[in-house]
């Protein structure tokens, strides 16, 4: 979703190929594009690139004509890189919680300890974001690709933690939600969603 959102923000032409989670992602044809059989994979310039962070950086450095990128040597370069990679730190907790609450079917196989620990660690990452966003509209001086990267992580996090605990994150996320490109990148009506509930918590 974050790559799709970025592509819409960049305003470039592209073809989207949707793959269901499951055997199709482990087919020989798809494994030739992404050796772990995960999404996303980007076919560009006669090559295939995987890892969202790398895709974000490559798309920005080759196609951005606006403000989404902070090129080497520009004032917010360091911060741009920091938040780009921070997105993955947040996302990892969302992925662990998705596994515990959704991918593992049977209650007996789930670990309440890991669910509690990962939810707390996710909250800590949001606390840091909240402190940074106090008095700011965006992570950097203007909207950029790192708002997309971290914004997607907040999209996943909101399923596992109550974002209202983090008022600055909540305000920023609400603002991102109003962007046309964000709306276009959301799963379409009738899609088979991973998150079928608005909130997953440890009962």
Ligand X SMILES: N[C@@H](CCC(=O)N[C@@H](CS)C(=O)NCC(=O)O)C(=O)O
Closer CB to ligand X, residue 87 or residue 163? Answer: 87
Closer CB to ligand X, residue 21 or residue 177? Answer: 21
Q: Which residues contact 146 (CB under 8 A, 6 or more apart)?
A: 79, 80, 83, 84, 87, 139, 140
Min dist. Cβ of residue 2 to ligand X (A): 8
Q: Which two tokens stand for residue 160?
A: 């596992």
Give burial (CB, 10 Å; 0-12/13-18/19+) of 179: middle
Q: By CB under 6 A, what part of segment 169-188 binds ligand X? A: none
Binding track over 28-57 against ligand X, x by CB under 6 A: ----------xxx----------xx-----
Closer CB to ligand X, residue 26 or residue 136? Answer: 26
Which helix (H) or strand (E) is 122 found in, with range? Answer: helix 112-133
Listed in order, strand segments (DSSP E) in 22-180 are: 41-44, 47-50
∠ CA 35-42-195, nearest 5°, is 80
Residues in the interface with ligand X (CB under 6 A) total: 8
Rule CB under 6 A: say whether 100 interacts with ligand X.
no
Closer CB to ligand X, residue 51 or residue 123? Answer: 51
Q: Output the CA torsion sign for 195, 5, 85, 146.
A: negative
Rule CB under 6 A: say whether 21 interacts with ligand X.
yes
Rule CB under 6 A: say whether 102 interacts with ligand X.
no
Binding track over 63-92 against ligand X, x by CB under 6 A: -------------------------x----
Q: Name the residues that contact ligand X, by CB under 6 A.
A: 21, 25, 38-40, 51-52, 88
């Amino acid at each position: 979703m974050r790559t799709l959102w970025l592509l819409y923000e960049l305003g470039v032409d592209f073809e989207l190929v949707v793959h269901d989670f499951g055997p199709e992602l482990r087919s020989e044809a798809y494994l030739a594009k992404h050796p772990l059989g995960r999404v996303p994979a980007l076919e560009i310039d006669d090559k295939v690139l995987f890892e969202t962070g790398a895709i974000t950086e490559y798309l920005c450095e080759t196609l951005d004509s606006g403000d989404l990128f902070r090129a080497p040597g520009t004032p917010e370069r360091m911060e741009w890189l920091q938040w780009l990679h921070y997105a993955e730190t947040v996302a990892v907790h969302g992925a662990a919680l998705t596994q515990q609450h959704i991918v593992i079917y049977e209650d007996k196989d789930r670990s309440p300890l890991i669910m509690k620990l990962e939810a707390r660690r996710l909250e800590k990452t949001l606390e840091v974001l909240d402190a940074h966003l106090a008095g700011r509209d965006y992570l950097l001086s203007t909207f950029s690709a790192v708002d997309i990267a971290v914004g997607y992580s907040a999209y996943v996090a909101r399923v596992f933690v109550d974002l209202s605990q983090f008022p600055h994150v909540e305000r920023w996320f609400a603002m991102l939600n109003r962007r046309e490109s964000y709306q276009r990148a959301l799963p379409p009506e009738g899609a088979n969603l991973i998150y079928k509930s608005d909130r997953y918590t440890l009962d």
